Amino acid sequence: DRPTVMVTGGAGYIGSHAVLALRDAGWPVVVVDTLVTGFRAAVPDDVPFIQADVGDMTAMGDAIAAHGVGAIMHFAGSVVVPESVTDPLKYYRNNTAASRALIEAAVIGGVRHFIFSSTAATYGIPETNPVAEGAPQRPINPYGMSKLMTEAMLADVAAAHPLNYCALRYFNVAGADPQGRAGQSTAGATHLIKIAAEAATGKRDSVAVFGTDFATPDGTGVRDYIHVTDLAAAHLLALEALIADPATSHRLNCGYGRGFSVLEVLDAVDRVTNMPIMRRLEGRRAGDPDALVADSAEIRRRFGWRPQLDDLDTIVTHALAWERRLGPR
């Protein structure tokens, strides 16, 4: 009676954690991934796997029919903000156009529930922090715009067809499965905690601190770092909520509602390893807001989401454990 959940991008960082959470909770799952940035080994052997692009409507229609898919968690996409500035059409293809094709396949295939990986980048530079869902969405890069356009498509489709959706706007996702089954494997990552974990395990000699003159207590950028396993749990709650109330859709922030500066993150890494990593003070990256912190009241209220791993040292400890497990570069 539980519908099969199709997880796109299920071989990637966040998607692979969602697959574990679904499987641990007994949901039937099928994974779709191109393996362009994902890893086949990230998908458990007992989970059906289809190597395909979500932009391929025929392949998606076939997969939906063959597996009796009733809900989709759509993680697949491109995620590197600076790359989206130099190659915007890649983002409008892999994020916006591919999502459009997947949503159409979902509508035609009778899929009733759709959970979408959106981003805090849809808010651009927020006027106030913490940022609530009703704040203006004015992305400052093609990545954020490509995701915002997908949110807009989902709203229109949900109004016209028997499908409800939940767009989860992720803040800064970090950490790894506490049991060590999954983590962030992507090479050439740009995310602070991943980079710091690489430095702490000898794969880099230092970490750059991008900007020391932000309007924050210590001058470095402040972000809302959320453990990937708490984020995966939010997806399960979203799925249950969409099924329980098919008339309601959701657009919700996924963060903890507190921020840490770059220096505080690096201090946590030093604390956990008991070994200082070298810091290089550099200029700002283009487009970085001073601070980006979620107002997370709404997801807690609607879904009863109660994070279990809201602790910076825990996030860092799990990221480091995975980085060690990955072995030398």
Residue 172 binds to ligand UFG (criterion: CB under 6 A): yes
CB 230 within 8 A of CB 16: no
Q: Looking only at residues 31 through 70 of this chain, which bind ligand UFG when binding is defined by CB under 6 A?
A: none
Q: Is 175 in contact with 320 (CB distance < 8 Å)?
A: no
The only residue of 208, 243, 309, 326 in contact with ligand UFG, by rule CB under 6 A: 208
Could you tell me the smallest distance in angstroms from the CB atom of residue 294 to ligand UFG?
Answer: 9
Tell me the residue nearest to ligand UFG as measured from the CB.
Answer: 221
Whether residue 22 contacts residue 7, with contact meaning beta carbons closer than 8 Å, is answered with yes
Active-site residue, 13 included: no
Tell me the closest approach of the beta carbon of residue 291 to ligand UFG, in angstroms: 9
Biggest distance spanned by C-alpha atoms of the chain: 56
- 180 or 283, CB closer to ligand UFG? 283
Alpha-carbon separation of residue 77 from 34, 143, 237, 270 (angstroms) = 10, 10, 22, 33
Choice from 96, 117, 119, 146 touching ligand UFG (CB under 6 A): 119
HSE toward the beta carbon, residue 46, CA cutoff 13 A = 7
Contact 126, 135 (CB under 8 A): yes
- Among the listed residues 49, 171, 305, 322, the single contact to ligand UFG using CB under 6 A: 171
CB of 257 to ligand UFG, least distance (A): 14
Tell me if 176 contacts ligand UFG by CB under 6 A: no
User: Is residue 9 within the footprint of ligand UFG (CB under 6 A)?
Assistant: no
Q: How far apart are CA 166 and CA 162, in angstroms?
A: 14
Smallest separation, CB 44 to ligand UFG (Å): 26
Taking CB under 6 A as the rule, does residue 221 contact ligand UFG?
yes
At 215, list the tokens. 């309007």
Residue among 111, 148, 149, 209 that touches ligand UFG (CB under 6 A) = 209
Q: Under 8 Å CB-to-CB from 12, ≥6 apart: which residues?
A: 33, 37, 38, 42, 75, 76, 186
Query: Quick check: 190 binds ligand UFG (CB under 6 A)?
Result: yes
Binds ligand UFG (CB under 6 A): choice among 240, 288, 310, 311: 288
Catalytic residue among 123, 143, 225, 256: 143
Q: Spell out the alpha helix ranges (H) of the chain.
A: 13-24, 57-67, 81-86, 88-91, 98-108, 142-160, 192-200, 228-244, 262-273, 297-303, 312-326
- Count the residues of the shown chain that bind ligand UFG, applying the rule CB under 6 A: 22
The CA-based angle 142-147-150, given to 5 degrees, is: 125
Kindly state whether residue 79 participates in binding ligand UFG, applying the rule CB under 6 A: yes
Scanning 62-70, 115-123, 149-157, 160-168 for contacts with ligand UFG by CB under 6 A, the matching segment is 115-123
Assess 285 for contact with ligand UFG (CB under 6 A): yes
- Tell me which residues are annotated as active site: 143
Contacting residues toward ligand UFG, per CB under 6 A:
79, 81, 119-121, 171-172, 190-192, 195, 207-211, 221, 223, 262, 285, 288, 292
